[in-house]
Amino acid sequence: MPKREERGTLKPNIFIARSVPPEVEAYLGEHCSYTKWEQEDPIPRDKLLASLRDAEGLLTSGGKIDDELLEHAPRLRAVSTISVGYNNFDIEAMKTRSVIGTNTPDVLNDTVADLIFGLMLAVARRIPEMDRYVKEGAWKRGDDKTLFGLDVHHKKLGIIGMGSIGEAVARRAKFGFNMNIAYHNRNRKPDTEAALEAEYLSLQELLQTSDFIVLMTPLTPETKGMIGLGEFALMKRTAIFVNASRGATVDEQAMVQALQKGLIFGAGLDVFEHEPVSPDHPLLHMPNVVTLPHIGSATAQTRLDMAMLAAENLVAALQGHAPSCLVRELR
């Protein structure tokens, strides 16, 4: 046991479970004693559990923080995830053991919104399909009707989950593309409605009337599978559906059926129920579906900002200060 006066200067032990930029590691090293997972691939669960025996803090970006993990980490006081989504936190298990949980909202809003817009444009104008034609030597004339896509500008965008990222998407749509904005949340946002001339609709009305539907809710018990066959059936036959929230907010089998039956025009997906998605998944073999490997926030600057914010959250929590991004349910 250190002498009393030394105790205050002892650095807390942390485990860094995913690789972070050197400046973030240096910052953590100033404030903490750390061990880290050295590889780029995600740490296997058994190795993670074995690494937490003495850890007071954990920097992570996925993997369940549940009873099993917490039992292997008797000294753990704080978990900081380098992501906005924290559906991997078992809130009750963390509350029971008074473990603090933090995430990284806002620093990634514009980056994720850019990507969502990219998906909307890619599906509407069939960009990956056209790219393949050109590269495979199957050039077609621009007036060939089989190449025609759909307009984005002046169309109606319906956002389910108009939060920080949803609003960044809506601003692009409103001020860059002259789109009309509708949204559905559990709670209305009068300021957002005024700023974006956004219309609040029931889920059913939004699905029935939107040309583009962007799903951006967190994954919770309430949103799991919230878009199923019934919801796809309500959409316009010309609708484009974009999901960048979490894969499990959509019933994937239903989405496959909806696309096979032609219930919607196409889909843009940054997330899947099981990641990495299996190469033989039917969604990967539909020309009107554009798929990405969960890269919403994946630019060098934004990933650095997220990692630094997560590191600051962890240090603040371990030093007994209020971290700026304590997750809502643990406040």
Fill in the DSSP letter of residue 40.
S
Is residue 101 part of the contact set for ligand NDP (CB under 6 A)? no
Q: Given the rule CB under 6 A, which of 48-56, 232-240, 241-249, 307-315 is the region that contacts ligand NDP?
A: 241-249
Cα 215–220–226 angle (5° rounding)?
45
Rounded least distance, CB 267 to ligand NDP, Å: 14
Rounded least distance, CB 303 to ligand LL5AMS7Z, Å: 10
Question: Would you say 15 or 272 has its CB closer to ligand LL5AMS7Z?
Answer: 272
Is residue 192 part of the contact set for ligand LL5AMS7Z (CB under 6 A)? no
Is residue 216 part of the contact set for ligand NDP (CB under 6 A)? yes
Q: Which of helix, strand or coil describes residue 153?
A: coil
Rounded least distance, CB 309 to ligand LL5AMS7Z, Å: 11
- Please confirm, yes or no, whether 246 is among the known catalytic residues: yes
Q: Which of helix, strand or coil describes residue 220?
A: coil
Looking at 57, 158, 296, 323, which residue binds ligand NDP (CB under 6 A)? 296
Distance from C-alpha of 275 to C-alpha of 140, rounded to nearest angstrom: 35
Is residue 209 part of the contact set for ligand NDP (CB under 6 A)? no
- Please confirm, yes or no, whether 237 is among the known catalytic residues: no
Distance from C-alpha of 59 to C-alpha of 285, rounded to nearest angstrom: 36
Active-site entry in 246, 252, 303, 312: 246
Question: Would you say 14 or 216 has its CB closer to ligand LL5AMS7Z?
Answer: 216
Total of residues contacting ligand NDP (CB under 6 A) = 30
Q: Given the rule CB under 6 A, which of 81-89, 146-154, 205-213, 323-331 is the region that contacts ligand LL5AMS7Z?
A: 81-89
Nearest Cα neighbor of 178 from 166, 188, 168, 170 is 170
Looking at 114, 256, 294, 330, which residue binds ligand NDP (CB under 6 A)? 294
Tokens of 66: 């549940």
Residue for token pair 């919607």: 264
Is residue 12 part of the contact set for ligand NDP (CB under 6 A)? no
Question: Would you say 149 or 296 has its CB closer to ligand LL5AMS7Z?
Answer: 296
Rounded least distance, CB 161 to ligand NDP, Å: 3
Taking residue 235's Cβ as centre, other Cβ atoms within 10 Å add up to 23
* Residue 230 β-bridge partners: none
Distance from C-alpha of 209 to C-alpha of 287, rounded to nearest angstrom: 24
Q: 168: buried, middle or exposed (CB in 10 Å: 19+, 13-18, 0-12)? A: buried
Is residue 85 part of the contact set for ligand LL5AMS7Z (CB under 6 A)? yes
Is residue 17 part of the contact set for ligand NDP (CB under 6 A)? no
* Residue 15 β-bridge partners: 35, 58
Radius of gyration of the chain (CA): 22
126 Rama sector, left if φ>0, alpha if ψ -120 to 50, beta otherwise: left
The entry of ligand LL5AMS7Z, ligand NDP, none that residue 62 binds, CB within 5 to 8 Å by partner kind: none
- Please confirm, yes or no, whether 184 is among the known catalytic residues: no
Nearest Cα neighbor of 275 from 314, 219, 214, 217 is 219
Q: 3: buried, middle or exposed (CB in 10 Å: 19+, 13-18, 0-12)? A: exposed
Residues that bind ligand NDP (CB under 6 A): 84-85, 105, 108, 112, 160-166, 184-187, 216-219, 222-223, 244-246, 270-271, 294, 296-297
Contacting residues toward ligand LL5AMS7Z, per CB under 6 A: 83-85, 296-297
